[in-house]
Structure 1
């Protein structure tokens, strides 16, 4: 905002210091004068035989002489206090505002795009040191967020460009060979277009979760787990995977649609990245002192911790994921992580010792009466919310 220049804070502090010093000095001089008025007599009688021959009436005017001597001295003291207050206040204000100047310079550099600069204010902890440390922490998070967004934008552009490039190639082939059978071409175009739509929907859902633009309500993770397993039961049967669900009522607060999408993504991921045959997926909900838990485990190949730590990043896929059907667009666990974070929760990934992956989502909990959850995936759906596609 363009605002007219005003008086600097340093000058304001200087005037405040000098004014306070003048006020304190004036009070001190007033107290001295009141003391003199109370304890010094107005006149003093002269003892006979005094050497002062100028006093003929034998009376010496003490108070009036004292006033004539005190007034110039008091004025000189106030003038000195004014000069000393202005000079000392200017130096003291500059010293006190020096950390604020460093913080302002860092903020100006950050405004110009330099997020790598840090204040690193020395000295013991005080209000300025706490402000500087908080600002440094904010800059570090902002720098990491910008880098993540740039990497995400680059990956998203690459992922979106791939189906468009494939579509362009197929259309060029069709133009160069008009007599070619269009049935296969249409099917391939349809598959490529479906992938582009899925990717776009995943990006929109991820953006919605990051912005936290949803209405919070009381939901039950056990019902969400039931609906997710019920929805993906045909896919599990196709892959020869057994779904097992268990747990009690697990209350939390959030968006039912987003939490359902989160559960669907987790169960879908556990089904398609499982053993070639006779795989198993366990979906459990539980309440702990730390919050409400949704845990999805699956059998599968042995995963290394270094691989598992990258699975929640956008467009990251584990070994063999690209070659499998229903591989998704590489945003499934990234969306889960964003939804969990938007609900003030936490996503934890860990490899199972026998192979496969264990995914745990911890969310805030609310207190309600417990209810047993069915242990079979065919349990009736108790909430009428539309089901999203696995992403």
Structure 2
């Protein structure tokens, strides 16, 4: 166990679980032996008289006739033998209990070893406990699953850090190069230099803000409120309408008038804006279209953004939510963005206990569906809009 600071808790040493199991097993075995011997003794006392009268010739021997204390004699003979039985049970309980406890705790030892390896940063090790399913094997399988997810998450974070470093270095290197050129060439056009520096600086700011937004979404550090996805879709559409007109893309909104969920209004608006922006930018050169639809299906509030565009394969679509993953057209576009649009959408959806689904359209383009937990609609909701 670790303290909140991450350092191990300093605990006083105590008896091992194996020793405690052994003592428990031995104690139970001794208790069972005592109860068994007590039952035998009570049975004997029930049918053996306290005293017995011996008459001449009844025993077939030469015993002296008279009255003898039978129970006391029986106790004298029974007690040493009972003590021997209890000693054997004690020895058997200690030896057998220690062996059985070791066999039972062997899976725990393997899980502990794997935990120690994981604590040192080795996430590739797996327990893979053999045998049929039981409590220990379910624990080991759950631990293996956790290690696999952690390993994948750490690998993804390392790729993300490397990509982010590369993306941040690019505008800084460009700025440095422009400044060096300006210093060595006093006759260079200052207005052109300032314009290029502004473009590079704007890109660096956009990238930094996107990284901050992505981190905020992953930490879930926001207050949850009721949010209408249909209103978020309308606001995003109105904001990006000039960009759509510039690209010659027609925007269409539809679906239910009220599509309620619970979450951060700012983050869900950013999610919607990113989807609509991507749909506009990655579209046909002319005559492109974007459809934005909201609906409630069961306990899910759905936001769907669909656009025309180039033909995509399922393999290409599967990589679009990775950070800094860009399509072929995105690199050469004037609105290339920073490669975090769909990565931010996925993180925001996951932070709201939702899911993101991407599928290629048969005629070209992309269909993106975000499913979030639905909130209760007010009376009279569920109307549709054109």
Query: What TM bracket, shorter-length normalisation?
Result: over 0.9
Q: How does 1:207-246 map to 2 (within 5 A)?
A: 207-246=215-254
2:269 & 2:35 partners in 1: Cα distance?
72
Greater CA deviation, 110-119 or 284-293? 284-293
Contact 1:222–1:373 under 8 Å retained in 2: no
- What are the equivalent positions in structure 2 for 1:213-362 lying under 5 Å apart? 213-248=221-256, 249-289=258-298, 291-362=300-371
Counterparts in 2 of 1:36-115, with a 5 A limit? 36-50=44-58, 54-56=63-65, 58-115=66-123
Partner deviation per Cα, 1:65-97 (whole Å, 9 max, x = no partner): 101001101111111111110000010010000
Over the residues paired in the alignment, what is the CA RMSD in angstroms?
A: 1.4
1:27-78 Cα deviation digits (max 9, x unpaired):
111121122222210011223444655535x212211110100110111111
- Is 1:180 aligned with 2:191? no
Tell me the distance in 2 between the aligned counterparts of 1:179 and 1:324.
Answer: 31
TM-score by length of 2: 0.94
Which residues in structure 2 correspond to 1:103-182 (within 5 Å)?
A: 103-182=111-190
Query: SS of the counterpart of 2:261?
Result: strand
Q: For the residues of structure 2 that align with 1:125 and 1:372, how far apart are their CA atoms?
A: 50
> Hey, what's the Cα distance between the residues in 2 that align with 1:166 and 1:69?
102
Instruction: Work out the number of aligned pairs and report it.
Output: 374
Q: 1: CA distance between counterparts of 2:235 and 2:57?
A: 119
Name the SS for the 1:320 alignment partner: helix
Equivalent residue number for residue 13 of structure 1: 21
In structure 1, C-alpha distance between the alignment counterparts of 2:197 and 2:109, rounded to whole Å: 60
Partner residue in 1 for 2:40? 32
SS of residue matched to 1:253: strand
Q: Residue 385 of structure 1 aligns with which residue?
A: none
Structure 1, 316-325 or 63-72: larger mean CA deviation: 316-325
Whether the aligned pair in 2 keeps the contact of 1:340 and 1:347 (CA below 8 Å) is: yes
Report if the CA contact (8 A) 1:216-1:255 is conserved: yes
Number of the residue aligned with 2:3: none
Query: C-alpha deviations, 1:115-137, integer Å up to 9, x for none?
Result: 11111101111110000000000
- Alignment partner of 1:65: what SS? helix
Superposed displacement of residue 339, structure 1 = 0.8
Residue segments in structure 2 that go unaligned for 5+ positions in a row: 1-8
Conserved in 2, the CA contact under 8 Å of 1:317 and 1:330? yes
Matches of 2:335 and 2:188, distance apart in 1? 29
